[in-house]
Chains A and B, each alone.
Chain A
């Protein structure tokens, strides 16, 4: 079945760049997403990319997609303490109801 995998933890120093990685198995994935979850709250969409794109940039966020390797990454430039949260990778396929989420990566930003 479909699966999305992420590492569980990442720690960076304030001001450095963070790179959160994700791999997925469904080759028919149409949309790939990055969501952010603050403690005790719901998820908020940060950005998304269509499967026919290689890269998308949005202010401090850069998403890279390697469709051949089914690898997605989220780079956060100039990471701030407010970026500390859990980041979820997710995928969905056109025509299906399902959104498949990864386990989430807990990002800790050290001052």
Chain B
């Protein structure tokens, strides 16, 4: 079955460490997104990519980095510069950005900074 796989589901990090969250999709979608979810704040866009080898900052990109070397993969690195990284991170994809198609989501990764 096609879908989006995020790993790990739970991750603990010490302050000052970088961590990378994996996102893989086998839906043949061109566009991929990373969102951060905090209680009572909805989903906030971190980065998005409309096509391989291209990505753009979203509303809260500071302290995060991404890459899009393959169509299927869009990993997110949470760097030590991110001041409050504890959150639930969601990866999503859609066939083509701007066409209003369904946004498919992974199951999320919960990051806790100790």
- The interface size bin for chain A is 20 to 34
Task: Report A73-105 CB contacts with B as 1/0, cut-off 8 Å.
Answer: 000000000000000101010111111011110
Q: Which residue of B lies closest to A45 (CB)?
A: B102
CA gap between A76 and B4 in the complex, in Å: 28
Q: Are B48 and A42 in contact (CB under 8 A)?
A: no
CA gap between A90 and B33 in the complex, in Å: 15
Interface residues of A in 52-75 (CB under 8 A from B): none
Q: Are B42 and A101 in contact (CB under 8 A)?
A: yes
**With A30-B100, A31-B100, A48-B102 as contacts: A41 and B40 at CB distance below 8 Å:** no
Q: Which residue of B lies closest to A101 (CB)?
A: B43
Interface residues of B in 83-105 (CB under 8 A from A): 90, 92, 97-100, 102-105
The binding surface of chain B is classed by DSSP as: strand
Q: Are A94 and B48 in contact (CB under 8 A)?
A: no
Q: Which residue of A lies closest to B88 (CB)?
A: A40
By a CB distance below 8 angstroms, the chain A residues around B48 are 97
By a CB distance below 8 angstroms, the chain A residues around B110 are 40
By a CB distance below 8 angstroms, the chain B residues around A40 are 107-108, 110
By a CB distance below 8 angstroms, the chain B residues around A90 are 103
Q: How distant is B76 from chain A, measured CB to nearest CB, in Å?
A: 15
Q: Is A10's beta carbon under 8 Å from chain B?
A: no
Q: Are B42 and A103 in contact (CB under 8 A)?
A: yes
Q: How distant is B59 from chain A, measured CB to nearest CB, in Å?
A: 9
Q: Are B108 and A42 in contact (CB under 8 A)?
A: yes
Q: Is B53's beta carbon under 8 Å from chain A?
A: no
CA gap between A24 and B20 in the complex, in Å: 34
Query: Among the interface residues A8, A30, A92, A96, which one has the most CB atoms of the partner chain B within 10 A?
Result: A92
Task: Report A13-44 CB contacts with B as 1/0, cut-off 8 Å.
Answer: 00000000000000000110100000011111
Known: A45-B103, A48-B102, A97-B98. 13 other contacts (CB 8 A): A40-B108, A41-B107, A42-B4, A42-B107, A43-B43, A45-B104, A97-B31, A97-B48, A97-B50, A97-B56, A97-B97, A99-B45, A103-B40
Measuring CB to CB, which residues of chain B are less than 8 angstroms from any residue of chain A?
A: 4, 6, 31, 33, 35, 40-43, 45, 48, 50, 56, 90, 92, 97-100, 102-108, 110
